[in-house]
Structure 1
Amino acid sequence: MGRLLFLISSLQILWFEPRAVQLPSTRFHEPVAVSETARSQAPFPAARRSRLLARVDRGVIVIPAASTADFEAQWLRGIEFRQDDYFFYLAGLDSPDAWLVMAKNPPFESVMLFLPPRDPAEERWTGPKLGPGPEASVLSGIAEVHPTTALDSILGVLLRRTGGPVYTTLPPPAAARRFPAVLRETASGLRDITPVLDSLRLIKDADEIERLRKAIAITAEAQKAAMRAVRPGMWEYQLEAIVEFTFRYMGATRVGFPSIVGSGSNTTILHYDKNLRQMQDGDLVLVDIGAEYGQYTADVTRTFPVNGTFSPRQRALYLLVLGAQQAALDAVRPGVTMAELDRIARRYLREHSGDLCAPANCAEFFIHGLGHWLGMNVHDVGDYRTPLAPGMVLTVEPGVYLPDEGLGIRIEDDVLVTDTGYELLSAGAPRTPEEIEALMKENPRYLCCPEER
């Protein structure tokens, strides 16, 4: 409750120019408006569906959407509806309780979307929803859209026409609970389609990359807002509030994962997210954050001095970690593996540590992997043995953590693999000590501590 009260009070002292917001004037049960942007995005899920069907000889693919969130039961826990990633990847829709069905028995192929019928009485409480109709076809690029009430009968026809098998993303226990009656008897013999989908999701198309760019740009702005605002005496949760306000103000859907704002000894805890410590003069603060935009999340970490200036030791360790990161970044290109990049970063630490971590070598205090895939999930799907290829997006995040000193440093950037190397998608967040210190001298847009005015 303390964090909530602080956030409410802090919003009254933020210096931002107001912006005009145009609200839709939609009457209940009118057709849902379809923007030109939404129309232009429909071909991307269609191409993904075609690639998936090309990987299946014959059968029926059944992909369920996420279930409707129970507002009455879950609102106190902050749980909101978020679409199933596989359904969003293939349908591009945020509609709950929907089903995507694809069938193949060459030369026969069919793609169908099933949506719950609209309920005008319910929409008085929850707002307009997308139902079966032409708007759904435009948004999804799927010509055949049916109400979910027809799912059972149509699936029976498709199963007879293809002869099976049934592919799905649901494990058998969940399939037995959620599948329509006609499929329940097949739940024990289902085929898992997720490995195929995961391999497809590794290579991002233009729409996915654009969503990631926006999520990462928002996250970079939040890192800069935190750098400008931080000062000794602030609490970690106050800095978290500034980060997450910036996310939402700039259009992020939600956080991609719980924000990590750790200062002092908390910089050495890899997934610290309590954010309860008061920051002191001389501390470093590690801010590992990611905004989600359009179902895709960023993941950017910066470590910076609470008082605005690195101490000589902090700077030396920071430059060591930065050098290890740059050595790995310089090696990013098609054909390289994540394991090779990891070895390059560790070798740099071993060869350049000097006596910074004596009597040990600083490489011994790099206690996690160098990075991970990035996409709809912060640790996205995909086989890490897969060589890099154009269109893949990954993080590169070396770190050194010295618990006896209460000193940890991690630098994490989001990287797009290109035909000839890489693009640093998170370049908008300062990386070097000089860039960070210069930004921290700027006037903050946030008055974090009204008692100081």
Structure 2
Amino acid sequence: MTIVKRTILLFVLLACSFGTALAHMGIDTSEFQARRQSVMNAASDGIVLLHSFSGPKSWRDAGFQQDSNFYYLTGLENLHDAILAVDGTTRESWLFVMVPTERQQRRFDALSGWDSVYLNPNHGTEQALGIEHIVAWDGFADFIETRRKANPDVLLYLDQSREGKMVADVSNPPGLAAIENPYLLWSEAIKAKWPDANIVDASPTLQNIRAVKSPAEIALMKKSAACTDAGFRAAMAVIAPGRTNREIEGAAIEAALRAGADGIGMWPELKTGPVSGATVFQKAYDYHLLNRTVQAGETVLMDLGFNYEFYKGDVGRMLPVSGHFTPEQREIIELMNGAYQSGLQAMHDGVSPNDIIQTCIRYVETHKDGLHSDLAKRAALELLKPGKWVMYTHGLDMVEIYPPPKELHTSNTVAFGPDFDVDGQGFYEEDVVLITADGHQLINPALPYSAADIEKMMARLKRSKNGDRL
């Protein structure tokens, strides 16, 4: 076979492997190109530098998790040892990759196309990915030097916050370099090489671009929401006195995976009984995740989110362990739901998150004088506090922008809901909402809100599950 024929064959194979994966994801190469163009427009005075994650997944993870910004701009969910440079000054993108050894090629030959762990830099790969330059990363330092000589004032945009603030922001005593946060390590590596470089945070630029979801992204989010919904209903069916948090979590995971989820967006978040008012951060630092056996008369605050093609689901409700809420709980849920629904109805293009929350608060103000139980009256005082209403943008990451932007616009997706406790008893509900031109749309399939409807659904799901066992 001639060299020309081999080259043509290689390009055809690359195009087929990349094209098949894209059809599966529902995102065309041109969309990734458009995303990079948006970054160039927003950072025309510099170069956005994003590093792929380079280590293998840990034994405990469901799968390798690429850096979300790197994935958003390339579509390469497995690529290791790579740097993406989106150059706003020349309006070109460069992907610097570590050229794989023969051993690495053999080890990962089953992962090709968009699933590649390593890429060979060549014209065929550039054409298939729609990236202008894919070169060996040995030339990265020379690339930066050349750009800085051409323009000494060029800005280097690095991801210095967002997820990095949740990954061991402090991992060593003062005076010692970070050891656990890849975002800090990447920033420090650039500063060490070029101490006089003009470095700025890329996070605001990237967040604003990612906040506007494309139709393809919304479709993927709805699929992840459907998987999450399957897990939620399965968990509702097994909640009962004597069950442990872990058992309930396991039921949710099994059902979500059966429904097509790729993995866990976040480990099922259950807050039960006397710890239902605990914050998510308390659980995140506990080996047992505050696991306990649920008891009759208690409630479960359940928040689930599963992955589908990297996009996350997110939905939450308060559920009764015994299948029935107390009269006081029902009164609080009725107040909470009314306020929450008023907030949903206030959503539209151009609305501010503050206006949405104030709409919820006005509902509570209007209805608090008609409350009967002391517990409900104390709950109303909590719901009057803006901080008890949680909102953040959502998509590739569970939390993308928090606090949310000052205004919400069409194609933004936000997770929203009340989260508070009274006398140590937690109350909570949450949905992911798509902002539309004339209002809003739920991303996740509808789950009940009222106490009566939640009880009915739990009873129906339990009957169905018990029937399956007969």
CA distance in 2, matches of 1:88, 1:381: 17
Query: How far 1:382 moved relative to its partner?
Result: 6.0
**Matched positions, count:** 412
Secondary structure of the residue that 1:190 maps to in structure 2?
strand
**Structure 1: unaligned runs, 5 residues or longer:** 1-29
1:98 matches 2:82: yes
Secondary structure of the residue that 1:196 maps to in structure 2?
helix
Change (3 A) 1:185 1:446: farther
- What is the 5 A alignment of 1:206-245? 206-245=215-254
Query: How far 1:446 moved relative to its partner?
Result: 9.7
The partner residue of 2:44 within 57, 63, 67 is: 57
- What is the 5 A alignment of 1:54-203? 54-69=41-56, 74-75=58-59, 78=61, 81-94=64-77, 95-105=79-89, 108-122=90-104, 125=107, 128=111, 129-132=117-120, 133=122, 136-137=125-126, 140-171=129-160, 174-175=185-186, 177-179=188-190, 184-186=193-195, 188-203=197-212
Higher fraction of helix: 2
The partner residue of 2:22 within 33, 38, 48 is: 38
Q: Does the aligned pair in 2 maintain the 1:221–1:429 contact within 8 Å?
A: no
The partner residue of 2:317 within 268, 287, 302 is: 302
Q: Does the aligned pair in 2 maintain the 1:114–1:145 contact within 8 Å?
A: yes
CA distance in 2, matches of 1:204, 1:169: 22
CA RMSD of the aligned region, Å?
3.1
Secondary structure of the residue that 2:94 maps to in structure 1?
strand
Query: How far 1:385 moved relative to its partner?
Result: 4.7
Query: How far 1:261 moved relative to its partner?
Result: 1.3
Per-residue CA deviations over 1:88-142 (Å, capped at 9, x if unaligned) read 222221212211112244xx43212122222342355565334134674366321
**Which amino acid is 2:29 matched to?**
A
Change (3 A) 1:139 1:84: farther
CA distance in 2, matches of 1:222, 1:236: 14
With structure 1 as the length reference, what TM-score do the two structures score? 0.80
- Paired residue for 1:267? 276
Q: Does the aligned pair in 1 maintain the 2:391–2:403 contact within 8 Å?
A: no
- What is the 5 A alignment of 1:370-449? 370-381=390-401, 384-403=404-423, 406-442=424-460, 444=462
**Structure 2: unaligned runs, 5 residues or longer:** 1-12, 112-116, 161-182, 284-288
Secondary structure of the residue that 2:380 maps to in structure 1?
helix
Change (3 A) 1:34 1:91: closer
Q: Does the aligned pair in 2 maintain the 1:59–1:159 contact within 8 Å?
A: no
CA distance in 1, matches of 2:187, 2:271: 43
Change (3 A) 1:151 1:213: same
Change (3 A) 1:60 1:425: closer
CA distance in 2, matches of 1:61, 1:304: 45
With structure 2 as the length reference, what TM-score do the two structures score? 0.78
**Which amino acid is 1:146 matched to?**
V
- Which is bigger in relative contact order (C-alpha 8 A, separation at least 6)? 1
- Residue identity over aligned pairs, in percent, reads 22
1:332 matches 2:350: no
- Paired residue for 2:328? 313
